[in-house]
Chain A
Amino acid sequence: MMKEIEFTLNGTRTRTETQPGERLLDLLRERLGLTGTKEGCGIGSCGACTVILDGKAVNACLVPAQAVDGRELVTIEGIMQNESLHPIQDALIRHHAIQCGFCTPGLVMSAKALLDENPDPSRGEIQRAIAGNLCRCTGYEQVIEAIQDAAKGGKTQC
């Protein structure tokens, strides 16, 4: 049975149909065309589908679509402000912390959830916050440095 849900998606009230058993990931990618959220494993192991639900980073492959009814969801498509990059995005570019880019949206979302809650995290806190985001290309070091830099509001040229 299709069911209509209503939630705040990237700041906009959104109504959409969902099916029972439909994953939030499929709702975003297939029904709403928001393909910035990626599927890497389907079991919550890789974090490529990380989105922010009511302020917490979650794996969209593990969340039933109908569970977001009435809640607030932010995806990678919703974090630029006035067409300019979020400081985390800007820092990732300056620190060469992007390679193939497939894990990048999920990393950005985990980093944003962290900094929204803890604006001045230690290196260890950053490592823990993104430990659920697997990246096979970068080895994480430049990602960690970029998040530290973004937290400090820095503009380190690398």
Chain B
Amino acid sequence: MEQAGDRMPDRKIIPDGKFQTVGKSVPRVDAFEKVTGRAKYADDLSMPHMLHAVCVHSKVPYASVKVNAEKARSMPGVVLVLTEKDFPKPQSMLDFWYCTDHPKFCGDVVAVVAAETRTQAENAAAEVKVLSEKLSGVYTVQEALAPDSPVIRDKGVGLYNGMPDPSGKGNVFLESYHPLRKGNVADGFARSDVILERTYATGFVEHAYIEPESVLTYYDDVNQLLTIRSCSQQGHMPREFVADALRLPMNRIRAVQCTVGGSFGGKFEMTGLMCARAALVTQKTGRPCKITYTREDSILESAKRHPFYTTIRIGADQNGKILAYQARQLENCGAYNNQAPWMNIRAMVHSAGPYEIENVWTDTFGVFTNTLSPCAFRGYSSPQVIFGNEMIMDELAGELGISVLDLKRKNLLRKGSRTATGQELIHETILADMMESVAAETDYERKEREYRNQTGRWRKGISLVTSYRGSALGGEGVDSSGAMFTALPDGSFILNAALMEVGQGLRTVYAQIVSEASGIALDDIMVEAVDTHHIPDSGLTVASRGTAQGGQSVKMAGEKMKEMLLESAAELLHAKPEELILENSICCVAKEPERRITMAEICTYRKYAGLPLATYQWYIPRPLVNDEKTGQGEAFTTYAYGVTVAEVLVNTGTGEVKIERVTAAHDVGKAINPGLIKGQIYGGIMMGIGFGLWEEVRVPGGKTEDTNLDAYHIATARDVPDIRIRIFESRDPEGTYGAKCIAEAATEMTGTAVALAVQHAIGKTVRRLPLTMERIVCALDGDAEENIAGGLPPLPDVR
């Protein structure tokens, strides 16, 4: 038997105090299969006698429908057509419908057609007759809030004094409401020398992962488990959807992850619904069933980023100290919504931006509309929240006649500051230092002054945006996690963890963490795919929590394994465990390095001695206490800080924007893998530029034409500006090896930064994203400024 240790004869013991793999840009563990095309995504799988199913979408945004599938059923190759009545439980536990006769948005599925081939299924789907009796719906936030509007959800409530009112009916989503109350805002405004009130708006944004959704279900060959292979970003949730839809015990359903072609928060609910639809076909026919969406179906049905209307009232004294802050963050929640109740905790906590303000009053809630269905999307409210806050800070600085840097210097959070939720920042808080460093590096202040009075066709603009971000889930949800680490007799190891590799590099980072903790060499560790029958659920792969919090149990499993290995090594080497070192899969007596033993010898010994070769560890984070009525309390264990500077050139004739340079600085706590972190930042920046300048799924009257990548534009390689990345590390005890988060931090500031830079270049205020060429031209042409606040209720009277 080849022994794992033999394959790497040149391994060295690492000097004391240095990390073995943490902090190194090791290549991805899944790089080879991905770069050779051998990695299998859900649609790459096929099985004998597999059926292909196609979902028929309503296309009508709000209606009562009758589905006539008579002709479709008679078409060649068609095996069955499912409608609402065929589903044991047609509405999912997360609000959305597996299949419905009462669509509330154009992406609702009214029928599922299964046939022998994909083409046959598509042909039959085109012959499913959907007779729609159209209902009167609401297609904008303003319509949803207008008096006497149709109430589209039974659970919708009304408004009173600009706040949700459970005693009235309306379209407000009560469960999404999170108020924040700190200090006395009326008093703060009374003492203010300057008070501004502005409203800012953002649109629907598509995740646009390059892999459209695909799922495959079948009965496995041993236990007849209903098995799911899918593109879901959640390892365990497909099982819950199928158990829910089919009324089956969860232990009869197994989900095994596929390679996932990007998700960014979007491959969760809709993918779960698809799993259930395919599973019902499999249950009814006994045959494997695949559903792969076209890009058009994907954009029509899949989640989007929530559009926000943010109205902010801010008061400051003449020196620039902010004395009062009031805001209403009002989002379009679509027809169904599983995320806003959680997302709005984050939106509420961060509502007042990275500033220390004594008096804060904010109301965050969504309304139902017959548009698209927003869910989680990279940032989870922060791109929209940052847009409102950073734009009004810029206007406030202008009003006060001071530079925005001076305004920030007076108000930024520092160590010992209290956040809007009253949480004292007890860990290193390096935001102000980061800002000074980036401002100096980019020569921000000189350029900002120089660009003030330009006259040419092309004009330059520069902006600086600051942010802070609660790391991982914190008070938003359950941040526990579990991991199992197994030794094999040849000295190789398997790690099973329950959070998902979706492209972000989690398998690589977990290999690094468990390697570091156990002393096992990186190459001797295999990080397994998530399989519901191999590892218990550890919650959702969301909130940039995979490394900082998901990694905690991985580290614990590594540490426990090290303890087990050293215990046996001590016996075999006739030494005490504390006299030994174990690093890079080499175990020896510290003072006599020639007294050594291989992992294979230790593991083989443990096998025949009947000692455990595996450990399962569970991490429980420290509790956080919040008051739901005021939002006051400890919201997150720690925060990550960021600064972005954007430099643009704007063509004042055409509205074209050339982004010349983006400088992004991020406090990541500890950089476990700098190469992967840079990848997150580059990708986050390009996605953020799209949010700022181009990307919007337009939904007039509840319908959209923007259903493929020719109409919905994302950044290409030609759009890449000069990008400068600054990774800051800070000493922070909360996350795994001090890691904070990056995936979402990387994208949240960029859209605002480019829009603000354009604002500076053209000298016109920007209040709506995306800031398209058309909008820039309209602003420059001196068109009457859009009244974004029109049709929205006034802010609550706080006196």
Contacts A42-B294, A98-B28: A85 and B36 contacting too (C-beta < 8 A)? yes
Whether the pair B37, A36 counts as a contact (CB closer than 8 A) is: yes
Q: How far is the CB of B710 from chain A (nearest CB, A)?
A: 5
Tell me if B27 counts as interface (CB < 8 A to partner A): yes
Look across to chain B and name the residue whose beta carbon is closest to the beta carbon of A132: B716
Tell me if A8 counts as interface (CB < 8 A to partner B): no
- B212 contact set on A, CB distance < 8 A: 39-40
Whether the pair B35, A127 counts as a contact (CB closer than 8 A) is: no
CA gap between A7 and B31 in the complex, in Å = 31
Whether the pair A36, B36 counts as a contact (CB closer than 8 A) is: yes
Name the segment of B151-159, B255-263, B641-649 touching the other chain: B255-263
Most chain B beta carbons < 10 A, residue from A40, A127, A138: A40
- B34 contact set on A, CB distance < 8 A: 98, 100-101, 104
Whether the pair B31, A102 counts as a contact (CB closer than 8 A) is: no
Tell me if B146 counts as interface (CB < 8 A to partner A): no
Tell me if B764 counts as interface (CB < 8 A to partner A): no
CA gap between A102 and B239 in the complex, in Å = 24
Q: How far is the CB of B172 from chain A (nearest CB, A)?
A: 33
Whether the pair A96, B675 counts as a contact (CB closer than 8 A) is: yes
- B40 contact set on A, CB distance < 8 A: 35
Q: How large is the interface on B (under 10, 10 to 19, 20 to 34, 35 or more residues)?
A: 35 or more
- A85 contact set on B, CB distance < 8 A: 32, 35-36
Q: Mark A120-140, 1 if CB is under 8 A from B, else 0.
A: 000000111011111111111
Most chain B beta carbons < 10 A, residue from A29, A89, A128: A89
> Could you name 10 residue pairs across A and B whose Cβ atoms are closer than 8 Å?
A43-B708, A45-B710, A75-B37, A93-B32, A96-B25, A98-B31, A98-B35, A100-B211, A105-B37, A130-B717
Q: How far is the CB of A46 from chain B (nearest CB, A)?
A: 5
Whether the pair B678, A96 counts as a contact (CB closer than 8 A) is: yes
Whether the pair B717, A100 counts as a contact (CB closer than 8 A) is: no
Whether the pair B723, A141 counts as a contact (CB closer than 8 A) is: yes
Whether the pair A100, B502 counts as a contact (CB closer than 8 A) is: yes
Q: How far is the CB of B397 from chain A (nearest CB, A)?
A: 30
- B679 contact set on A, CB distance < 8 A: 96-97, 99, 137-139, 142
Which A residues contact B (CB, under 8 angstroms)?
A: 29-30, 35-43, 45-46, 48, 75-77, 80, 85, 89, 92-105, 108, 126-128, 130-144, 158
CA gap between A46 and B46 in the complex, in Å = 24
Tell me if B609 counts as interface (CB < 8 A to partner A): no
- B41 contact set on A, CB distance < 8 A: 38, 102
Name the segment of B94-102, B105-113, B359-367, B680-688 touching the other chain: B680-688
Q: How far is the CB of B257 from chain A (nearest CB, A)?
A: 13
CA gap between A29 and B294 in the complex, in Å = 15
Contacts A43-B708, A131-B717, A131-B718: A100 and B262 contacting too (C-beta < 8 A)? yes
Tell me if B43 counts as interface (CB < 8 A to partner A): yes
Tell me if B505 counts as interface (CB < 8 A to partner A): yes
Q: How far is the CB of B114 from chain A (nearest CB, A)?
A: 18
CA gap between A34 and B32 in the complex, in Å = 17
- A30 contact set on B, CB distance < 8 A: 46
Q: Which of B27, B30, B714, B723 contacts A136 (CB 8 A)?
A: B714
Look across to chain A and name the residue whose beta carbon is closest to the beta carbon of B295: A41
CA gap between A26 and B685 in the complex, in Å = 34
Q: How far is the CB of B301 from chain A (nearest CB, A)?
A: 16
Contacts A43-B708, A142-B679: A127 and B714 contacting too (C-beta < 8 A)? no
Whether the pair A93, B27 counts as a contact (CB closer than 8 A) is: yes
- B46 contact set on A, CB distance < 8 A: 30
Look across to chain B and name the residue whose beta carbon is closest to the beta carbon of A108: B35
The 10 closest A-B pairs by CB, nearest first: A36-B37, A100-B503, A101-B34, A102-B261, A139-B682, A76-B37, A35-B44, A139-B686, A96-B675, A45-B709
Look across to chain B and name the residue whose beta carbon is closest to the beta carbon of A44: B710
Whether the pair A138, B259 counts as a contact (CB closer than 8 A) is: no
Tell me if B38 counts as interface (CB < 8 A to partner A): yes
Whether the pair B715, A139 counts as a contact (CB closer than 8 A) is: yes
Other contacts beyond A37-B37, A139-B723: 11, CB < 8 A:
A40-B295, A43-B710, A45-B710, A101-B33, A103-B210, A104-B35, A130-B717, A131-B718, A136-B262, A137-B679, A144-B720
- A94 contact set on B, CB distance < 8 A: 27
Look across to chain A and name the residue whose beta carbon is closest to the beta carbon of B26: A96
CA gap between A92 and B25 in the complex, in Å = 14
Tell me if B82 counts as interface (CB < 8 A to partner A): no
- A36 contact set on B, CB distance < 8 A: 36-38
Tell me if B163 counts as interface (CB < 8 A to partner A): no
Q: Which of B35, B210, B676, B683 contacts A93 (CB 8 A)?
A: B35
Q: How far is the CB of B118 from chain A (nearest CB, A)?
A: 8
Whether the pair B35, A138 counts as a contact (CB closer than 8 A) is: no
Q: Which of B28, B33, B259, B264 contacts A96 (CB 8 A)?
A: B28
Tell me if B504 counts as interface (CB < 8 A to partner A): yes
Q: Mark B715-741, 1 if CB is under 8 A from A, else 0.
A: 111101001000000000000000000
Look across to chain B and name the residue whose beta carbon is closest to the beta carbon of A78: B37
Q: Which of A37, A43, A108, A136 contacts B208 (CB 8 A)?
A: A136
CA gap between A137 and B264 in the complex, in Å = 9
Look across to chain B and name the residue whose beta carbon is closest to the beta carbon of A92: B35
Q: How far is the CB of A100 from chain B (nearest CB, A)?
A: 3
Whether the pair A134, B38 counts as a contact (CB closer than 8 A) is: no
Tell me if B795 counts as interface (CB < 8 A to partner A): no
- A136 contact set on B, CB distance < 8 A: 207-210, 262, 264, 683, 687, 714
List B residues 227-265 near A (Cβ within 8 Å). 259-264
Look across to chain B and name the residue whose beta carbon is closest to the beta carbon of A95: B675
- B65 contact set on A, CB distance < 8 A: none
- B503 contact set on A, CB distance < 8 A: 99-102, 137
- B27 contact set on A, CB distance < 8 A: 93-94, 96
